[in-house]
Structure 1
Amino acid sequence: MKTYFTLLILMISLGVSAQGKDEKRERIKALKTAFITTELDLSSEESAKFWPIYNDFDDKQFEIRHQRMRALGKKIDGIDAMSDKDALAILNQMEDLDEELLQNKKKLISSLKPVISPKKIIKLKKAEDEFQRKLLKQFKDKGPRK
């Protein structure tokens, strides 16, 4: 029942399209928080320790991904005129950012081990994936913007 309620909130809130990017990001983050809280069934003690660790992780992941898009977006537009040397530099940069994302994920897991059970850490991964699927489905069902 809680999952359906969370999904209902997700659908309703994503329907509001007159928001800025930061507002949308914050709204999605709030929905993700509610979804993860429901899926993990955290105690108040676990929650008090879990959320500061998870929020730091999530903010860092966003920062890395945003940095990647900024750095690579402009360069990839001119790919046809790019030399192999420049393309190799971009590939190396992409690998470095992927490695940074992986290291951040490993840091999250090691930080969470004393806070929540290993089963809940696995449930976290499952909840993140499920939330992402539902979010993408919501955007897909919404159709192209005009």
Structure 2
Amino acid sequence: MKYVLRGALLLWLLAALPTFEALAQGGLRRQERLSQLENARIAYLTEKVALTTDQAQKFWPLYNEFTAKRRDLNRRLRQLRPASTDGLSDQQIKESLNQSFVLRQQEITLEKEYFERFQRVISVRQVGRLALAERQFTKEVLKRVAGRPGLPAGAADGLDE
């Protein structure tokens, strides 16, 4: 559960990064900042995974498909989490938790499916590097965001795993 909460917070922080930076830098448009972040992610992952040109042409459409599906599952999971359970019945809480379990299982199934699909395009060693590089990129983004004005102190604390 700890990793799911961290993942949800991390996704929120990544989505909010352009907003924080736009405020700090005097108003660059959010979409431009998102595009810059995406380009940095592509360059970082391409380098760390050591993709060849041929591999990159096959890998990136597949990876983008995977991340879109993963984002959708995470969005749906966030929508299930109420801000407070005070106004909910025990049955509603139980149903919400069960739906969360189903979505988390779907996320695991998705990761397994794309693990297999990625291996058709890149080596298993590169797939391993990909998982590590994704975490490293996220850490780097959080470090940079934490150093910007306007971010609450400690917002990136505890997300090092």
Q: TM-score range by the shorter chain?
A: 0.7 to 0.9
**Pairs within 5 Å for 1:38-57:** 38-57=47-66
- 1:78 and 1:141 map into 2 onto residues whose CA distance is 31
- 2:33 and 2:83 map into 1 onto residues whose CA distance is 26
Over the aligned positions, Cα root-mean-square deviation in angstroms equals: 2.2
Q: Following TM superposition, by how much is the alpha carbon of 1:15 offset from its aligned partner in structure 2, in angstroms?
A: 3.4
Q: Following TM superposition, by how much is the alpha carbon of 1:143 offset from its aligned partner in structure 2, in angstroms?
A: 4.8
Structure 2 length as normaliser, TM-score? 0.71
Task: Please name the residue that 1:104 is paired with.
Answer: 110
Contact 2:80 2:100 in 1 (8 A): no
- 1:91 and 1:115 map into 2 onto residues whose CA distance is 36
After superposition, the C-alpha distances for 1:65-90 in whole angstroms (9 at most, x for unaligned) are 11222333xxx124112111111111
Aligned pair in 2 of structure 1 residues 96, 45: CA closer, same or farther (>3 Å)?
same
Which has the larger helix fraction?
1
Partner amino acid, structure 1, of 2:59: F
Structure 1 length as normaliser, TM-score? 0.78
- 1:117 and 1:81 map into 2 onto residues whose CA distance is 50
Are 1:69 and 2:75 counterparts? Answer: no
Q: How many residues align?
A: 130
Question: Identity rate of aligned residues, in percent?
Answer: 22
Q: Structure 2: which 5+ residue stretches go unaligned?
A: 1-19, 153-161
Task: Please name the residue that 1:86 is paired with.
Answer: 92
Q: Structure 1: which 5+ residue stretches go unaligned?
A: 1-13
